[in-house]
Amino acid sequence: MTARTRADLESLPGYIPGRSIPGAVKLASNEMSAGPLPSVVAAIRDAAAGVNRYPDNGAGALVDRLAARLDVPPSHISVGAGSVALCQQLVQATCTPTDEVLFAWRSFEAYPIITQVVGAGQRTVPLRSDHSHDLDGMLNAITPVTRLVFVCNPNNPTGTAVRRDELVAFLDAVPDGVLVALDEAYREFVTDPAVPDGMELYRHRDNVVVLRTFSKAYGLAGLRVGYCAAPEPVAASVNKVFVPFSLNSLAQAAALASLDVEDEMLARCRAVTAERDRVTTELLAMGYPVPRSHANFVWLPLGEQAVVFNEHCLGHKIVIRPFPGDGARITIGDPAENEAFLTAARGWPARRGQPPM
Ligand SMILES: *Cc1c(COP(=O)(O)O)cnc(C)c1O
C-alpha cells in the first residue's frame, strides 16, 4: 500500500534558506547582525514562563498596538507567523485553482512557492533592465483571472524601489476585483522620500494591502512575526485562513517589547543604511555594477558569474546568497562584516570583466 500525495508538488522548488557555516560571516538572509535589545530578551524570558498556555489566538494586544501605531482600526490589522505566512494567507484568501497571482520576476522567492502550494495559477513579468519593477508590463499582464498582485517594494533581491508617482498610477489603473499587496518587508531601510510609504496609499484605497515584518528591521527573524494592514473584508478573510495558534506567545511578547524600543531599532536601521551606501560606493569604485539599494542588502547582477563569485566569497568565509545565472545578494552586516566582504570583493579578478581565474 502506498500513500498518494499531490503529484504537482514534485515540480515545486524548495525554499533555499541562507546557509549557516560555523566561523563564517553570514550575509545571506537579510537579518540584523545585532542581537535583540536587553528589554526584548527580558520580555521573551518572561513569556517563556507561560508557554504551558496557548498563545492569544487573536494576538489582541499586538493587534491593538499596531492599529494605534498605524492609525487604523484594529479590524484592519492581521498578524501572522512571519509576513511570509501572511503572503500565503493572502493567496488562500483571494484565489481558487482557476485564479492567478501576478508578480515581478525576479522577486521574493517565496511568491512562486506559496502560490503553487495553495494551488493557484501564477504569471510573472520580468524586471526592467535596471532591475526594477515594470509596472506598465504588470498592468498589461492582468487578466480576468488575476486576483492578487504582489509588488515587493523595495524588491528582494534587487533592492530597487518603485516611486510614488508610478505606484499611484499603477494602483489607479488596476481593475476592479484585483488586490495589490505591497510587500514592505524592508520599509524601515528606505531613505529616499520619493519611495512611498504603502500606508499612505492604503488609506485611500480598498484594493491595497501593506505587508510588514518584525524579521528584518526589528531583528526578530527567529521568532516569526509579521503583520498587514488590509481593508476590513480582506483582513477578515486573511484571518479565516490563519492556522490556529501559529503566532506563538514569545513572538507576540517580543514584538510588543520591540515596539517599546522602536526609536533604538530605527537608529540601528539608520546605521545599516549608512553602511549600505558606503558598501555601494566602494563596490562601484571597484568596478561592480550595483543598482541603488533601498533595503538592507545590495544586489550584484553578475549573471552566469554569480556562482563563481559565491565560491570566491565562501573561500573568504563569507556566506552570501547567489541566484544562479542571475546575481548575488549580499546583506549589509556590521562594519567589520561588511569590510570582510569588501576585502573578498576587491580580490575577485572578474569584477572588471576579466574571466574568473
Ligand atoms: C524576509 C521577507 C519577508 C518575510 O519575512 P518573515 O520572516 O516571514 O516575516 C517577506 N517579504 C520579503 C520580500 C522578504 O524579503
Give tens-digit pLDDT for 90-149: 999 999 999 999 999 999 999 999 999 999 999 999 999 999 999 999 999 999 999 999
| Ligand 1 center from residue 152 Cα (angstroms) | 10
Report the C-alpha gap between 201 and 45 in whole angstroms: 38
The length of the chain in residues reads 357
Q: In Å, how far are 156, 254, 280, 281, 296 from 288, measured between CA atoms?
A: 19, 39, 9, 10, 18
Paired strand residues for 125: 104
Confidence at residue 352, expressed as pLDDT on a 0 to 100 scale: 59
Run of H or E residues at 330: strand 327-331
Q: Residue 321's beta-bridge partner residues?
A: 329
DSSP annotation of 145 reads: T
CA of 4 to the centre of ligand 1 (A): 32
pLDDT tens, 256-308?
999 999 999 999 999 999 999 999 999 999 999 999 999 999 999 999 999 99
- Determine the pLDDT at residue 252: 98
CA dist 227 → 18, 23, 260, 342, 351 (Å): 23, 33, 17, 34, 40
DSSP 212: E
- Using the mean position of ligand 1's atoms as its centre, give its distance from the Cα of residue 308 in Å: 27
- For the domain with range 38-260, which CATH number is right: 3.40.50.150, 3.30.70.1450, 3.40.640.10, 3.90.1150.150? 3.40.640.10
Is the CB of residue 215 below 6 angstroms from any atom belonging to ligand 1? yes
Delimit the CATH 3.40.640.10 region(s) of the chain: 38-260
For ligand 1, whether the C-beta of 158 sits within 6 Å is no
* CATH 3.90.1150.10 domain extents, the chain: 7-35+263-351
- What are residue 228's DSSP bridge partners? 78, 211
Q: Are 179 and 210 in contact (CB under 8 A)?
A: no
Where b means 16+ CB within 10 Å and e means fewer, 86-117 reads bbbbbbbbbbeeebbbbbbebbbebbbbbbbb
Work out the average pLDDT over 14-31: 86
pTM for this entry: 0.96
349 CA to middle of ligand 1, Å?
Answer: 33
Per-residue pLDDT at 16: 75
Pair 12, 117: CB distance under 8 Å: yes
Q: Is the CB of 184 under 6 A from ligand 1?
A: no
CA 256 to chain centre: 20
- 206 to 171, 174, 181, 203, 230: CA distances (angstroms): 10, 12, 11, 8, 8
Backbone angles phi, psi at 122, to 5 degrees: -145, 150
At residue 160, what are phi and psi to the nearest 5 degrees? -75, 160
Is the CB–ligand 1 distance for residue 114 below 6 Å?
no
Ligand 1 mean position, distance from CA 213 (Å):
7
pLDDT at 72 over 80: yes
φ, ψ for residue 319, nearest 5 deg: -100, 115
- Residue 109: per-residue pLDDT: 96
* Residue among 30, 108, 111 to mutate when testing ligand 1 (max atoms within 8 A of CB): 108
**Which of 215, 224, 297, 332 best tests ligand 1's pocket when mutated (most atoms within 8 Å of CB)?**
215
Confidence of residue 357 (pLDDT cuts 50, 70, 90): very low
Structural class in CATH, domain 7-35+263-351: alpha beta
